[in-house]
Amino acid sequence: MPIVSVTTSSASLAELTGRDRILQEAAELFLTKGYGDTSLRDIASAVGIQPASIYHHFSSKEVLFTEILRIGIEHTTEAFDRTNADLNADAPPGIALLAHVEAHLTALFDHGPYTAANIVVFPVAPDAVKAAVVPIRDAYEQRWDTLLRELATSGQLDPDLDVRMARRIVLGSINSTIEWFNPTDSQKDAQSVTDLAKVMTDLVWKGIGA
């Protein structure tokens, strides 16, 4: 159960309550223009309120940004845990990997700017924001380490790779799709996130060679 309920994916933009609308619009702007080039005036204007009103919900711009990143990780972590719960205990490792890649990519493309901001904007975030977010990121990455360790101990992973490096490669590779994949306009090879998950799982599992 999440500590804070997030209504971003269920409700349409106009229906969102004040705080959530600020988060949504801010996340979109941060993702598009970056943190430093997005002013509180920009955000307020997008929401349709005055800049000062933001401070009723968030004590500073950094706190607002931190909360956006936190929500994104929360979505992703919950998707991982849900997938684990759904997986049959003796599912073959290939299936488990595919399921988690799909869960990760779905979280990435379904919760719009919250999850994407963790990939695109986090690397250049202010130090205070990074420091606040790193622990929650770590908790998510450890879930992947556990998953990949199981693959390694059952001899399914390239023995030359250690688990941490494998995780970085896998997550880095699937995260990089954020730069070009758009689930709304259908593409030749991957029309849906499910298609994309299949393609990317094939990449990390078998490579792109024929």
Residues lying near a copy of itself in the complex (CB under 8 A): 31-38, 120-121, 123-126, 155-162, 165-166, 168-170, 172-173, 175-177, 179-180, 187-190, 199-200, 202-210
- The option from a copy of itself, DNA, none interacting with 57 (CB < 5 to 8 A, set by class) reads DNA
Under a CB-based contact definition with an 8 Å cutoff, are residues 68 and 77 in contact? no
User: C-beta of 179: minimal distance to a copy of itself in Å?
Assistant: 6
What the block records as the tokens of 116 is 């994407």
Site string for DNA, 2-41 (x = CB under 7 A): ----------------xx------------------xxxx
How far is Cα 98 from Cα 203, in angstroms, rounded to an integer? 11
* Residue whose pair of structure tokens reads 């409700």 in the numeric block: 11
* Residue 34 interacting entry, from a copy of itself, DNA, none, C-beta within 5 to 8 Å by type: a copy of itself
The interface with DNA within residues 34-73 (CB under 7 A) comprises 38-42, 44, 48-53, 55-57, 59-62
Q: How many residues bind DNA (CB under 7 A)?
A: 21
Which CB atom, from 32 or from 60, has the smaller least distance to DNA? 60
123, two tokens: 């690397």
Dihedral pair phi/psi, residue 148, rounded to 5°: -75, -30
Residue 77 sits in the site that holds DNA (CB under 7 A) = no
Give the max Cα distance, the chain: 58
The residues, ordered by sequence, that sit 6+ positions from 8 with a Cβ below 8 Å of its Cβ are 16, 20, 23, 24, 71, 111, 112, 114
> Which positions from 173 to 192 touch DNA by CB under 7 A, shown as an x/- string?
--------------------
At residue 101's C-alpha, the angle toward residues 100 and 107, to 5°, is 90
CA angle (27, 71, 6) in 5-degree steps = 95
| Binding residues vs DNA (CB under 7 A) | 18-19, 38-42, 44, 48-53, 55-57, 59-62
